[in-house]
A and B are shown apart, each in its own frame.
Chain A
């Protein structure tokens, strides 16, 4: 089983739509969770950390389900500028410094 698993997509949605991505991680000992976005041939950019209580930042909501070992990202009112690859990232158990990345889910928002 992959350490961090994501549906590669692509998800094609119209502007204004709500879209949700899920991610599963294999090691229950992981402690920290993040969503990054990556534009084509660019660096990963931190979108948000995902805490046990869940968190929201504007149109973006992240949830963590430790029992099922999955993380979700909800994007409301999608914008064209949201088109990117969304990377689910988990710390390697026992360490804060080593991050394990998923392969990413591609989102394409269209007019």
Chain B
């Protein structure tokens, strides 16, 4: 069964450093997403991406964040200057073609980001 994959599984970084989280969405999917989950809290939407541009973003997704699809398979989330409060599990998700409102999203295993 096709899966979303993410690398690395765990990233430790110093405050102020840049990090890039990588995802390979399911191959025939066209919509890509990033979510985050701070330990003990709910999953929160960050951004959605379609046709090489951001389609929606949340208030969390400020200028420190950016997304890119550098090639035909990878989808990345960059955090320019990490803060302590960026420590969380970051999930990538993807969904196939738009089917009304029922865009079933499939999640990758996540990257645990720890900012020291």
Contact = CB atoms under 8 A, between A and B. Distances in A.
Contact of A31 (B31, B33, B91, B101): B101
B69 to A, nearest CB: 15
Contacts, number: 59
Interface residues of B, number: 28
A104 B106 contact: no
B45 A99 contact: yes
B41 A103 contact: yes
B112 to A, nearest CB: 8
Contacts of A99: 35, 45, 105
B107 A32 contact: no
A45 interface: yes
Contacts of A44: 43, 91, 107
Interface residues of A, number: 24
Interface string B55-91: 1101000000000000000000000000000000101
Contacts of A102: 42
B104 A97 contact: no
B58 A49 contact: no
A56 B55 CA distance: 32
Contact of A43 (B44, B48, B91, B100): B91
B109 A34 contact: no
Nearest to B95: A97
Given A43-B91, A44-B43, A98-B45, A49 B102 contact: yes
